[in-house]
Amino acid sequence: MARTTGSDGEKTEAAVREAAVNLIARFGYEAMSMRQLAAEVGVQVAALYRYFPTKEELLFTLMREHMEGLATAWEAARPTDADPAQLLSAYVRNHIAFHIERRHATHVSNMELRSLSPERLTQILRMRTAYEKELRAILRDGAEAGAFSIDDTGLTAMALIQMMTGVIVWFRPGERLSIAEVTATYLSMTMRLVGATSAGEERDVHEHAQLRA
């Protein structure tokens, strides 16, 4: 046989992407074979190479689109004319929502960086740094405005990102906590961590979180 009835390039490519994210998240990039991926999609190995010239290019595509999606989501979620606490709150909400929604893709983007060639690694890291820079700016502006009490802006930003992204390690949808509860608690922890003093939505969030304590 050759071309199969009802075959469609776009559908196949989308199926390859989705299967690849799941397999790489579960077994790791090196451990996933192109044969395994093809079998998961329900296609022969050679068909994969019609859409992605190499295995690494497939990985890179998944990562790049994940980072682009993160940047796009933040652009859409970022409030205009907001005080530091509201900005930080929006950043935390967006970060947690995005990462919980795309647990597997986040896993891939965080764990498989070393499988990229130096040039591609640089490209992904540049996107990541740009995203983290937004948080540092929020923290710096808030500290200068007296809304936050922060020892070291850069270190605090890294600590917050590690803390928030860590959600995907243990969070499983439908278990003890809902996404809203997790987000509320993380918001509360974040605001305390940065020593937020303002009376914005942060206090509401904090009081809401206390309801479950």
Q: Which residue bears the tokens 């647990």?
A: 103
Tokens representing residue 119 in the block: 């040039």
Q: Which residue bears the tokens 């986040």?
A: 106
Q: Is 27 in the site for DNA (CB under 7 A)?
A: no
Kindly state the smallest distance separating residue 25's Cβ from DNA, in Å: 15
Choices 6-14, 105-113, 117-125, 187-195; region in contact with DNA by CB under 7 A: 6-14
Determine the residue type at 150: I
Report the 10 Å Cβ neighbour count for 144: 12
Q: Which of 163, 179, 201, 203 binds a second copy (CB under 8 A)?
A: 163
**Residues 46-67: b if buried by 16+ CB within 10 A, e if exposed:** ebbeebbeebeebbbbbbeebb
* CA–CA gap between residue 195 and residue 175 (Å, rounded): 31
Nearer to a second copy, 46 or 213 (CB): 213
Site for a second copy, residues 4 to 33, rule: CB under 8 A: 26-28, 30-31
Q: Is 1 in the site for DNA (CB under 7 A)?
A: yes
Nearer to DNA, 57 or 65 (CB): 57
Q: Which of 115, 124, 142, 198 binds a second copy (CB under 8 A)?
A: 115
130 to 159: interface string for a second copy, x by CB under 8 A = --------------------xxx--xx-xx
First to last CA, the chain: 62
Is there a contact between 100 and 160 (Cβ–Cβ < 8 Å)? no
51 to 80: interface string for DNA, x by CB under 7 A = --xxxx------------------------
Size of the site for a second copy (CB under 8 A): 36
Tokens representing residue 202 in the block: 């942060």
Is there a contact between 80 and 42 (Cβ–Cβ < 8 Å)? no
CB within 8 Å of 191: residues ≥ 6 apart: 85, 88, 89, 202, 205, 206
Residue 179 interacts with, from DNA, a second copy, none (CB under 5-8 Å by kind): none
Binding site for DNA (CB under 7 A): 1-10, 12, 32-36, 43-50, 53-56
Binding site for a second copy (CB under 8 A): 26-28, 30-31, 111, 114-115, 150-152, 155-156, 158-163, 165-166, 169-170, 177, 182, 185-186, 188-189, 192-193, 195, 209-210, 212-213
